[in-house]
Chain A
């Protein structure tokens, strides 16, 4: 690390009277983990990292010794804006390393770093802009249905007022934390909101998604509201997705753009899309990692079900948005299946791996599916050669299991742990007796 960068952090800690520095990192499932150190320890942390016992972190367990090092990424050092200035706090994202300093293969951030390095060696930097949807509810009571903000006089203000002021406060906080917002709006569903982030390179964006989820929940909680990124919290209402706008840049040039193509898509873009489509089923367990994720991926709610692409058809898996004006840097593709409950480091890793495979092996892009796929029957779809995304976590895991692409992208440690953990989740779900079954069968059978 640069001497100057270290000085910058240490000096800021001193000048701003920082009382606690929170070291942030992410477990394999995408949960934000944190431990705090006193400012006095910061210099030491920047020089040598802080060791901690990784065995309590999901996916960090190893057979041999369990201690790992958290090494702060000084670039991400930031004062937390919502904390009382008298007890100011800061956070910094960490890379996790083994005690000998080599990257720890259970750390999702290191996994993304490794995949981005691969792409950089081919001359590409990977840019992502996510559109993140989420719901605001009344604080949940265990075992009860979620309560919408506009139900039952939960607030004195109308729900629209409180929700939009929450959203405004959230955006202000995000912008002071280096996360510029492109758009934000109230989604179609009651209590649902969407915030679109401005594109950055994939590593910064994965950090931003982690910060985003934390900030949204934190600001809501300060107002006694519960924000959730659960993919499908309400049965008859559309779920929350995290559409990802993707592009590759070579230096200043958008490698996805071509002036000669009617859709302005370069050969690189088409091969990347072909890679994503061909490997979509394999990576779905990572981009949609909960049992609940698959209740969002059903027909009728603008969520993708079929593995297809189109210029402007929101039922497809990949959409090619029409850029505003003739702006070549805005040429991009939108991958629509991921949900905001995924681990962004791992999701971005497998998406990149799938796209790059398409470029390396020069895959051919299938024809555009511009009709509304939801209205076609299965026979018609089969005739068009359009397959479906996995229908359940179990199915997604089965496809992933046989994917050398995903194993390579995630590394053996995470690949195996993830499959084990998620099969357990599926087993728990499978043995659960649901309200649906009781209602349907208890009396009738």
Chain B
């Protein structure tokens, strides 16, 4: 089960494909990863994860050690004890298992208490991925036929250049970098426009409508209106 969006980086091979233990993962974990825009695959053992490793390598791993600590730590070990260790391994342990972390510092980069709060997990993952990706993050954002080249500020759809004004570009970039997530108008206004905007919160609607018009009728639904909440770019498997 993988979601259909990705952050891609031209040139080097950093991606956001995450290995997950166990399989199937708890539904909360799957949901959190999906909504945060990660691609992931779940495995029962480290050997399986190694066998199915994508060509660009695992970008990271999320390992639940609360139910099956032995299996979980074995999974971590197999990701780490190899020629090129997998970076950005996050483990989840219950409060009672906190002592397990001791002397295992080499096996993980961060941890989260189980049961976890989705916001906390998301924040920890974002932070883990940030340090690695910040310098070269998403020189190219792709989704379906849409490509945004963040270096040249150029957008295209299906290979055809898409001419956008600066604010349209910034809005589309923000949305496409966070596919599947729902944003309120206020959030978009403060994140994309900052505080120097002219038309008030309705400006967001105006720009969304312009983007839809430019994407053309058949792709206008790439940006979806979530009633009385705001907007979402791309599909979400979770009905929110």
Question: Taking the nearest CB of chain B, how far is it from the CB of A202, in angstroms?
Answer: 8
- Whether A252 contacts B154 by the Cβ 8 Å rule is no
- Whether B166 contacts A8 by the Cβ 8 Å rule is yes
Q: Which of A1-23 contact B (CB under 8 A)?
A: 5, 7-9, 11-12, 15-16
**Chain B residues whose CB sits within 8 angstroms of the CB of A312 once the complex forms:** none
Question: Taking the nearest CB of chain B, how far is it from the CB of A13, in angstroms?
Answer: 11
Type the 1/0 row for A178-211, where 1 means its CB is closer than 8 Å to any CB of B: 1111000000000000000011110110000000
Interface 9-residue window, one of A73-81, A219-227, A316-324? A73-81
- Whether A176 contacts B163 by the Cβ 8 Å rule is yes
A245 and B85 CA atoms in complex are apart in Å by 63
- Whether B153 contacts A127 by the Cβ 8 Å rule is no
Question: Taking the nearest CB of chain A, how far is it from the CB of B203, in angstroms?
Answer: 7
Interface 9-residue window, one of B7-15, B25-33, B100-108, B208-216? B208-216
**Chain B residues whose CB sits within 8 angstroms of the CB of A200 once the complex forms:** 199, 206
Q: Which of B157-215 contact A (CB under 8 A)?
A: 161, 163, 165-169, 185-186, 198-203, 206, 209-210, 212-214
Given contacts A75-B166, A77-B166, A199-B206, contact A15 B185 (CB under 8 A): no
**Chain A residues whose CB sits within 8 angstroms of the CB of B152 once the complex forms:** 11, 15
Question: Taking the nearest CB of chain B, how far is it from the CB of A8, in angstroms?
Answer: 5
Q: Which of A144-194 contact B (CB under 8 A)?
A: 175-176, 178-181
Type the 1/0 row for A12-53, where 1 means its CB is closer than 8 Å to any CB of B: 100110000000000000000000000000000000000000
Complex: chain B residue closest to A123, CB-CB: B200
**Chain A residues whose CB sits within 8 angstroms of the CB of B212 once the complex forms:** 180
Complex: chain B residue closest to A85, CB-CB: B161
- Whether B198 contacts A15 by the Cβ 8 Å rule is no
Q: Is A350 an interface residue (CB 8 A)?
A: no
Question: Taking the nearest CB of chain A, how far is it from the CB of B162, in angstroms?
Answer: 9
**Chain B residues whose CB sits within 8 angstroms of the CB of A179 once the complex forms:** 210
Given contacts A79-B163, A249-B200, contact A180 B169 (CB under 8 A): no
**Chain A residues whose CB sits within 8 angstroms of the CB of B163 once the complex forms:** 16, 78-79, 81, 176
Type the 1/0 row for A49-76, where 1 means its CB is closer than 8 Å to any CB of B: 0000000000000000000000000111
Q: Is A251 an interface residue (CB 8 A)?
A: yes
Complex: chain B residue closest to A76, CB-CB: B165
- Whether B201 contacts A198 by the Cβ 8 Å rule is no
Question: Taking the nearest CB of chain A, how far is it from the CB of B136, in angstroms?
Answer: 18
Q: Which residues of B contact A (CB under 8 A)?
A: 152-154, 161, 163, 165-169, 185-186, 198-203, 206, 209-210, 212-214
Q: List 23 A-B contacts (CB under 8 A).
A: A7-B153, A8-B153, A11-B152, A11-B154, A12-B154, A75-B167, A81-B163, A125-B200, A178-B168, A178-B213, A180-B209, A180-B212, A180-B213, A198-B209, A199-B202, A201-B202, A203-B199, A204-B199, A249-B200, A249-B202, A251-B200, A252-B186, A329-B202
